[in-house]
Chains A and B, each alone.
Chain A
Amino acid sequence: MVAVPSALPFTRIVGLEAARQALLLLVVNPALAGAAIAAKAGSGKSTLVRALAALLPADSPFVELPLNITEDRLIGGLDWEATLVKGVPVVEPGVLARAHGGILYVDNANRLDATITATLAEVLSSGVVRVEREGLSTVQPARFVLIATYDPDEGDLPITLLDRLGLLVPLAEEGDANVRAEVVRRHIYPDGEADETAILRGLIQAAHERLPQVHISDDQMTALMQTALALGVEGNRADVFAVEAAVASAALAGRDAVDDADLRLAVQFVLLPRATQSPADAQPSTPQLPMAPHPSSADAGPHDSPTAGERPLQELLLAAVQTVLPPHLLDLPFAERRRGRRGSRGQTLNARRGRFVRAVMGDPHTDHIALLPTLMAAAPWQRLRQPQGTTRIQVRRDDLRMKRYRDKAGTLYIFVVDASGSMAINRMREAKGAALRLLQDAYVHRDQVALIAFRGQNAQVLLPPSQSVERARRELDILPTGGGTPLASALLTAWQLAQQARQRGVANITLVLMTDGRANVGLQAPAGDRQRLRDEVQRLATRLRADAIHALVLDTQVNYLSRSEAAQLAQWLGGRYVYLPNARAEQIAQALATASVSS
């Protein structure tokens, strides 16, 4: 899997300036652990990364990680052929061990499987691969830098991975026409650049050797960390990365001391992409819980606090940062995640469908047998099982391996329908129609539907989560209507249903609320107290949002002018708002379809 040297040298690839700069910092200072580069398909990101291989010393491996890699190929495992021939277990190193001392490259890294990502993250921080599989137990060195490229249009990298990579290069703005022309020109005339590559290789080597001498002052470190605080960067790993990036930048420029330009670069590649708040609305962060200090906390190290003289540098840095703030700062993955809208919850390992990822011991009556792993599991025992020298392969129950698949789990749609008031009969009928319509497609998507109606004093689960069309039809036959509007009770019931579903492994949950949003019966709030009724609803809605439960609010308020309450509710839920005063089943289904696409 060692890459064929790219036809185009690193120095000749136009565009992707930020990515090029980040890659240079990374090869100068492997303590940065890795780089994630967001770029559109066809922007030349993979060409650039592959060209980097030519700048490495000859003995440094450049290994590409294919997306469809299985766990055993990644981590390593038993080399069955060699094991059977030699009669002793022979380890076949996985991709991670083969990248030791060099670069591991993944293109389209956002499509990596969750367990593969987690393993990558683990190895990046420990520097070793531990193989504990199939009777093998070994530790192999695996220190490498990871370069991940991806097209953000196809989804972001998982945070677990982003967090371990020092340098993050967000999507660059489109280059101007001159740059584009130059790209084409250089592709057409790629020659005559051999010595540029040689020079750059020398520069990298020199910078790498200078690294230990580069000095960064306490003021400069303070400035970086205050910037991190102002941007709401989570965890302390980013601090180390920021300092390493500044040091690498100085080394690359041939300096022995970090200067302001180095700090700016560190902020740009390390801190800014990890921002969870914009520096303007920075507020005092959550303080540490006062906890019992443990008996030996009398640390030897000095805890000098910043002095007054350090402020200006930090302000300078933040000011400089403001000019390069990406326009959609809070759309970056770290901030998105902070808002509770993303999770690795959409995927589950199961025994029936999806992509085959691993074989495990299991029950042949309920699962699918994985033939090859079963035969491989049986192979070593053949001598033991057939002392007489028969040649038939003997497979026993212990050898049986079952397939485990990974797929997108289905969605649970919880219909929460306002059954109070006079328009309720119509609303309920259409909600029922939409629920049934969804269920008819459910087999394909493995979706489930539940229905909660609320009226009078509280909410009631009319249909628990179900995939059965028949059952839904039967349970929804009786639809009580009329009375007060206990909205808070409805939200609470929906939340409880969602919690139960999560525990059963249903990850994606969408709430479909059909109401005018006007509560008049509370959980604890007295009937007339509008403010407290409102507070209850807001708190529950915020909780639903924090638990990453999607929402769609269908406003059934007939009076167009007084429809603000359902819109407000949608905002609290962080969900979509659709005004459908006389909702028809088809319209509901359609609103759901568009909501799922946009979420």
Chain B
Amino acid sequence: MSYPRPTSHPYPFTAIVGQEEMKLCLLLNVVDPRIGGVMIMGHRGTGKSTAVRALAEVLPKITRLAGDPFNRAPADVPPQDPLLALVGITERPQQAEKIPVPVVDLPLGATEDRVCGTIDIEAALTMGIKRFQPGLLAQANRGFLYIDEVNLLEDHLVDLLLDVAASGWNVVEREGISVRHPARFVLVGSGNPEEGELRPQLLDRFGLHARILTITDIGQRIEIVRRRRAYDADPAAFTRQWQPQQRALQRQIVAAQKRLPQVTLPDEVLLFAAELCMVLNVDGHRGELTLARAACALAALDARTQATIDDVCRVAVPALRHRLRRDPLETTDAGDKVMQALTDLLARHNHRPLEAVSALTPT
């Protein structure tokens, strides 16, 4: 038996067939990390992990201080930096370097000390000194942290990750060392609803909630298999073939990130978002906030500087479906409920109907 060797060419993001909701949710978070991450729930074998792992390749590189294990931008590292000293780097490097946006994969079975960072065992053994060995949270700073099968991760670890993701800081106290380092990342979780529902408190803390289903279109399915086999046969050639699409998407992302601060949200659009949340009985204000941010990010992706009601409609389902109160008498899916509310609301506002909005193809 011979196996393909582990490859340095991940499957290209642009070669993923279908699953538009998931891809859109990921891209919105790329444009504006404040959206607060995404939870992807769906059938097995629908390409959840592939999509997340493919993300790094289409993201523009970031600049960090050369060799900084916390991925900080040079401007964020003072001349006498305590964090560098803790990891054993005595002199602050002068130069900067470009690195791919980190997409850190949290494996099941990772221990808490590796997630948060701990004392460097090697330094303790060989030199008898205390040094901090940064963990996965440091590696994920300014990038993405991906947890596959969130429902199988221990609760306390999930809580810890959500806390860090919300505050942007990781604090470790161990062996008399006290470390506080930046850990700003977009949390991406995935899971299968049949493995057990997630705690609602947990769901609510993800900005967006994408649902994916098995693709039923035969043409698309054949295309999936064909691309998968072509990739498995020769990953390098396959990724080369998709280079143009990858570059185009990357340019689009760079432009959107640059445009985002200029995107405005007219009052009538904000009111529409608020009204939608009211109709759907969404508790708190996270619903409106996420809707607003996601709509602006979508406008930026679309090369516009003003978010519209259409934008709100296009992000409403993933932004709200996990925030509805669960009613056992209700047999309709939460996403369908959001769509129903949208349809009614659009009619009341004399706006074009939802089908027309969904059919909009961005420029």
Contact = CB atoms under 8 A, between A and B. Distances in A.
Interface of A: 27, 30-31, 56-57, 60, 71, 74-75, 78, 83-84, 87-89, 101-102, 114-115, 118-119, 122, 125-128, 130, 132-137, 141, 143-145, 159-160, 163, 208, 212, 218, 221-222, 225-226, 228-229, 233-240, 243-244, 285-297, 299-306, 337, 340, 343-345, 349, 360-361, 380-381, 383-384, 387, 396, 398, 492, 495-496, 499, 502-503, 507, 523-524, 536, 539-540, 542-543
Nearest to B129: A384
B6 A143 contact: yes
Nearest to B336: A289
Interface of B: 1-6, 14-15, 17-18, 20-21, 23-24, 27, 43-47, 49, 105-115, 118-122, 124-126, 128-130, 133, 136, 148-149, 152, 154, 174-175, 192, 194-197, 199-200, 211, 213-229, 232-233, 242, 245, 248-249, 252, 298, 301-302, 313-315, 317, 326, 328-329, 331, 335-336, 339, 355, 357-358, 360-362
Nearest to B197: A502
B3 A143 contact: yes
Contacts of B47: 236
Contact of B328 (A57, A74, A286, A543): A543
Contact of B199 (A75, A225, A344, A503): A503
B44 A160 contact: yes
Contacts of B315: 292
Contacts of A134: 111, 113-114, 121
Contacts of B111: 132-134, 360
A101 B358 contact: no
Contacts of A226: 218
A343 B46 contact: no
Contacts of A360: 111-112
Nearest to A71: B109
A208 B2 contact: yes
Given A102-B1, A160-B195, A540-B328, A288 B211 contact: no
Most chain B beta-carbon neighbours within 10 Å: one of A292, A299, A345: A292
A407 B194 CA distance: 21
Most chain B beta-carbon neighbours within 10 Å: one of A101, A126, A130, A289: A289
Given A118-B152, A296-B245, A384-B124, A291 B328 contact: no
Contact of A236 (B14, B120, B224): B224
B110 A133 contact: yes
Nearest to B192: A160
Contacts of B339: 289
A203 to B, nearest CB: 14
Contacts of B301: 294-295
A132 B223 contact: no
B331 A539 contact: yes
B59 to A, nearest CB: 14
B221 A236 contact: yes
13 contacts: A88-B122, A118-B149, A119-B109, A236-B214, A238-B45, A240-B228, A292-B360, A343-B195, A345-B196, A380-B121, A398-B174, A502-B197, A540-B329
A126 B52 CA distance: 13
B219 A344 contact: no
A299 B17 contact: yes
The 8 A-B pairs of least Cβ separation, nearest first, read A237-B45, A235-B45, A292-B314, A132-B114, A294-B24, A143-B3, A132-B110, A295-B362
A288 B215 contact: yes
Contacts of A238: 45
A60 B1 contact: yes
Contact of A101 (B1, B17, B152, B229): B1
Given A101-B1, A102-B1, A229 B218 contact: yes
A502 B200 CA distance: 11
B6 A229 contact: no
Given A295-B302, A543-B328, A234 B43 contact: yes
B29 to A, nearest CB: 12
A302 B228 CA distance: 14
A160 B129 CA distance: 44
Nearest to A130: B107
B23 A239 contact: no
Contacts of A218: 222
A75 B219 contact: no
Contacts of B45: 163, 234-238
A130 B17 contact: no
Most chain B beta-carbon neighbours within 10 Å: one of A134, A234, A294, A542: A294
A84 B120 CA distance: 14
A286 B329 contact: no
